[in-house]
Structure 1
Amino acid sequence: MKYTKRYQMAMNSRILLLSIVAVIGVLPFSHGRADPSFRVKAVNLGGWLVTEGWIKPSLFDGIPNKDFLDGTNLQFKSVTTGKYLCAETGGGTIIVANRTSASGWETFRLWRINETSFNFRVFNNQFVGLDSNGKGIDVVAVSSTPGNSERFEIVRKSDDLSRVRIKAPNGFFLQAKTEELVTADFAGNSEWGDNDPSVFEMTIAGGLQGEFQVTNGYGPHRAPQIMREHWDTFIVEDDFKFISKKGLNAVRIPVGWWIASDPTPPKPYVAGSLKALDNAFLWAKKYGLKVIIDLHAAPESQNGWEHSSSRDGSQEWGKTDKNIQQTVAVIDFLTARYTKNPSLYAVELINEPLAPGASLESVTKYYKAGYEAVRKHSAKAYVVMSNRLGQSDARELFPLASGMSGSVIDVHYYNLFWSGFDNLTVQENIDYININRTSELNNVTTSNGPLTFVGEWVAEWQVTGATKEDYQRYAKAQLDVYGRATFGWAYWTLRNVNNHWSLEWMIKNGYIKL
């Protein structure tokens, strides 16, 4: 059969067009999306696979001696000197009892060994112990790692729990002989009086309730059962059905780094969170929901807060290549495991790294390696990079992310946690959303840069006495503004004992309409 020249040209053009379409179909996406009308409307499943005690306080109820969890900040005032125990110079030398007020050097962070034995960590990260060079009774803070000489017990007065003695590993109690001399050589057979140098007034000056605290608090025998019950009941299949019915199309699931070692995670973490995440992917697929995996807790903590599973408030993530590579391995594991599940939509490399402890250099190095780990397994999963907190340049990741296809910048917007919000009225809060948040979001939204994601927000504020209508207006303003984010938004969180932080409660009670 003969073809005319015009027909041959038309056929060649058609073949060329189809070839281009086919190639586009298999190429990784650029910063634009195939469906520009799609936006993530998600809810965070906070407090589920990474514990946050304020979300579900009852999870901690059964811990013995639960006042003394890892990271509890304690201050001790000698009843005889009337002064506070202090790590001189913040650590590296002796313990004294000569400070009239308590701040950083006078605060001791607990490391819990069991319900009765503890280590005390001081400001410069050394541990309180007994001086091995002398008689073994002088109290110092010189060791960078705790051993037998750094193991103490806290003994409380039965009818006044704020009065304590501190039992040293040599069997004797600490005593403030003078303001400059604290020793461990008191037998402890007195009457707890005000003239007793072994008695201290204890103040609990804060603490943490995260995954490390709950698992180490319950211990290796009880923690596995407690956590499995929590994972099996806090979020269930019906929650995914509810989410899909109420106009949401995705979930952001915070996970901890130890999940990649399941079923044998490092102590004190326990097995089972990976199975729960597997279930979440099955439910998401069943109900047509997208999943954003969010590495919420990185090894050694990226921000020192309980939601990053910090043991004692320290922030050590990103300070070594080994640490960064360990985190990349977690991302590699998670992406490889779920890349064939159609619900996997995005992988968030880390949540809320805190500047300056998490340096831009370390974050950039990790994001490059984390991005490559995702791309090794998936050409289409979005890669989300959380902005650092505590810094002013919201576009500092643009030089990095703009060269990465399918990259997303995550910003978190709360009208909380800053004194500037304390006295704002209802209308002033709403105006802040409409004016300030719009400006902030516009600043990180560009036509040829990474997509933007408001990964956490909540319809809560510092306003007292607000009406239901006030909350409705406030929530609507945020939905309107954050709905312009080019990737989408995620409410914090689905379920919470604090009603306005619970999207489930807010929807069921008519405070939020999607």
Structure 2
Amino acid sequence: MDNGDKFVYSNSFGGYWYHDPENPFSGGAGRANSWTPPVNESWPWGKQNINGCVVPLTRWLVLEPFISPALFEKYQGGDFPVVDEWTLSQAMTLDKSAGGGLSQIEDHYKTFITEKDFAEIAGAGLTWVRLPVPFWAINKLPEEPFLEGVAWTYFLKAIGWARKYGLRINLDLHTIPGSQNGWNHSGKLGTMNWLQGVMGVANAQRAMDYIRFYAEFISQPDVTNIVPMFGVVNEPRNLLDIHNIKRFYYQLYTTLRGITGIGKGPVISFHTAFSDNAFGNWLPQADRIMVDKHPYIIFSRPPSNNAPETYVDEPCSSWGNWANATSRDFGMNSAGEFSAAINDCGLWVNSVGGDINYENSFGAGSCDEWNNWDTWTDARKAGLKTFASASMDSLQNWFFWTWRIGESSAAGKVVTPFWSYKLGLENGWMPKDPREASGTCESLGYPQQQPFDGNYESWQTSGQGGTLTPTTTEDYSWPPPTLVDQGDAAALPVYTPTGELPKLAMPTGASGSGWFNAQDTRPAYVPIEGCNYPDPWNANGVAIPASGCSAA
């Protein structure tokens, strides 16, 4: 590996690694297993499910307390609550002691996920990784406390490792300026300031730019087969207006396909904004779009102390019916996140200091028995494996959340076991071969209702033959004329397209400039000189700036 450590690569599924250090992006490429093509060939959309193959590498480049607890435990009890990457970055910056400083985040990048993890993912029979990235991997505003630009180096490493072991990447833009949901994994816990609040349009402009920058990069010839899917906004919340979210999505679609052309570049994956029924027949004839659902038992029903295997009814019925109906009515779809969690036990699953519903709101019992995985019986592990397998079977195309959980520095071990694929694989509650999950629901008495036959239209998988009609898109003007909480959007502050475009570094040995389409020259959105903008991360209910800041 980069640091000189060595490991033995073990793959019992017919996979192999390939790497030419002199020409790492030419010639052959790795193959994860015998039933999927090597990564320098196209993915057979519709013919090969992404089932049991996708493990998101969170929280490597985007930090979340319950997945990387040791980073946050160090700063609990300080001068202010450390609950997200924003406050963690502030606390680290203020920490002038030995071992302090913002460089601790890069130390985490170096060790939390390494080349060995990519080899183990392929060796587990998995063929995709979902890779969450932050916008500040490219750049940020001066007042944003995040570690700027460094995550990009490790994103490039991930591309090289994925090519070596035959893994494909679903690139997931996990953070949006101003926050798309107000949750800690968006960068800052608090209020949502995207398409909402006084800075709702300006933040949407910035977000559009970061999506454009990533799209330009991953559409390059040496990268496109390794990153054939782009999740453009992680978990936007439909607090006010699903139609404005669709406006944003349609604008993204036209921007990205304007960059790549039809049939080229990544499949564009849109999260449902927790409105699963809002995309049933959305944008018919669009070139290679996918809808992304994040189903979690723990957020859909009250917790109980029932055995894990008793929870299979929801995935086998509700989730399975959604996957089949969406394939028929819309097209490609995936579960961008799901886990083996049957309750919300574990350290900080509901954020730092958050209420644990299992123990408190519903009084189902103590979480100790669920957190202490090293004392679980074989029967409990088997029940959890049944639940995980039923979820995989019903969802068909899935991304397990997450590959690994970091150890708690206080407990000296993982204390959030439901969410670690790696831990479950090593200890018997995840299937050794993801293909084992196929047919689980039927074996439990839940046959599929109207199963999808696997045949998509050509425009859904290759872009050929599809043409969007004006009646489909006439109501998606951009920017939005109104925001539900603000009224006339023309009065709101905006940014101006006069900034420099970023220079995006390439992986070692790859050809390209970092920018796919040389005709895409519009400058980047930046603040208007002289405008006194409100805090873009906390602009709900504040006064609109005086003249000179709006589009008008």
TM-score, normalisation: structure 2 = 0.57
Alpha-carbon distance in structure 1 between the residues aligned to 2:79 and 2:319 = 39
Aligned equivalents of 2:190 and 2:288: distance in 1? 34
Return the match for 2:239 from 319, 341, 356. Answer: 356
Please list the CA deviations of residues 298-351 of structure 1 after superposition, one character each: whole Å capped at 9, or x if unmatched: 1111111101112x4111112333221211111111121222213011111111
Shift of 1:439: 2.4
Q: CA deviation at 1:444?
A: 2.4
- What corresponds to 2:210 in structure 1? 330
Task: Tell me: higher relative CO, structure 1 or 2? Use CA pairs within 8 A at least 6 residues apart.
Answer: 2
> Measured at CA, do residues 35 and 352 of structure 1 come closer, stay the same or move farther in structure 2, by a change above 3 Å?
closer
Q: Separation in 2 of the partners of 1:322 and 1:354? A: 18
2:342 equivalent in structure 1 = 461
Structure 2 residue corresponding to 1:386, chosen from 271, 279, 282:
271
Q: What is aligned with 1:316?
A: 193
CA distance in 2, matches of 1:500, 1:290: 25
405, 425, 428: which one pairs with 1:510? 428
Deviation by residue 1:28-59 (Cα, 9 ceiling, x = unmatched): xxxx9656134252001111111101112110
Distance 2:114 2:335 in 1: 25
Q: 1:265 to 1:350 in 2, by over 3 A?
A: farther
Instruction: Show CA shifts across 1:184-211 (max 9, x none).
Output: xxxxxxxxxxxxxxxxxxxxxxxxx221
Partner amino acid, structure 2, of 1:456 = E
Conserved? CA contact 1:433–1:477, under 8 Å: yes
Give me the TM-score of the superposition, normalised by structure 1.
0.61
Shift of 1:443: 3.5
Quote how far apart the aligned CAs of 1:65 are: 4.5
Q: Contact conserved, 2:182 with 2:192, CA < 8 A, in 1?
A: yes
Letter of the structure 1 residue corresponding to residue 230 of structure 2: V
- Alignment correspondent of 2:93: 219
Say which of 403, 409, 414 aligns to 2:291.
Answer: 409
Secondary structure of the structure 1 residue equivalent to 2:256: helix
**2:146 matches 1:269:** yes
Structure 1 unpaired stretches of 5+: 1-31, 71-208
Deviation digits for residues 213-250 of structure 1 (CA, Å, limit 9, x no counterpart) = 21112126644311110111111111111111111111
Q: Output the CA distance in 2 between the equivalents of 1:397 and 1:418.
A: 20
Contact 2:229 2:266 in 1 (8 A): yes
Measured after TM superposition, the shift of residue 265 of structure 1 is 6.8
Structure 1 residues 354, 479: closer, same or farther in 2, change over 3 A?
A: same
Residues 437, 397 of structure 1: alpha-carbon distance in 2 compared, 3 angstrom cutoff: closer
For the residue of structure 2 that corresponds to 1:383, the secondary structure is strand
Partner of 2:48: 37
Distance 1:412 1:336, change over 3 A: same
> Does the alignment pair 1:476 with 2:389?
yes
How many residue pairs get aligned? The number is 334
Contact kept? 1:347, 1:374, Cα under 8 Å: no
Equivalent position amino acid for 2:400 in 1: Y
Write the distance in 2 (CA, Å) between the matches of 1:414 and 1:445. Answer: 20
Query: Cα distance 1:365–1:305, how it changes in 2: closer, same or farther (>3 A)?
Result: same
For the 8 Å contact 2:382–2:428, the answer to whether it is kept is: no
AA of the residue aligned to 2:191: S
Write the distance in 2 (CA, Å) between the matches of 1:450 and 1:213. Answer: 40
Structure 1 residues 285 and 265: CA distance shift in structure 2, 3 A: farther
* Residue identity matched to 1:218: M
Matched, 1:63 2:70: no
Cα distance in structure 2, aligned partners of 1:365 and 1:344:
25
Alpha-carbon distance between aligned partners in 1 of 2:328 and 2:165, rounded to the nearest angstrom: 33
Structure 1 contact 49–255 (Cα < 8 Å) conserved: yes
| Equivalent AA in structure 2 for residue 217 of structure 1 | A
- Code of the aligned partner of 2:333: T
1:301 aligns with 2:194: no
Q: For residue 500 of structure 1, what is the aligned residue in structure 2? A: 418
What CA deviation, in whole Å up to 9, does each residue of 1:272-292 have, x standing for no partner?
Answer: 111111111111111111111
Radius of gyration: which is bigger? 1
Write the letter of the residue equivalent to 1:506. G
Using the alignment, how far apart are the partners of 2:281 and 2:429 within structure 1? Answer: 40
Structure 1 Cα separation of the partners of residues 63 and 392 of structure 2: 27
Quote the residue 1:46 is aligned against: 58
Following superposition, the deviation at residue 409 of structure 1 comes to 0.5
> Partners of 1:423 and 1:403 in 2: how far apart?
46
Matched, 1:490 2:416: no
Q: State the Cα distance separating 1:440 from its structure 2 match.
A: 2.9
Q: Is the 8 A contact 1:69 1:217 kept in 2?
A: no
Same amino acid, percent of matched pairs = 25
Distance 1:33 1:397 in 2: 24
Aligned counterparts of 2:76 and 2:385: Cα–Cα separation in 1:
42
Please report how far the alpha carbon of residue 382 of structure 1 lies from its aligned counterpart in structure 2 after TM superposition: 0.6
Who is 2:161 aligned against? Answer: 283
Among candidates 303, 318, 326, match of residue 444 of structure 1: 326
Compared CA separation, residues 223 and 251, structure 1 to 2 (3 A): farther
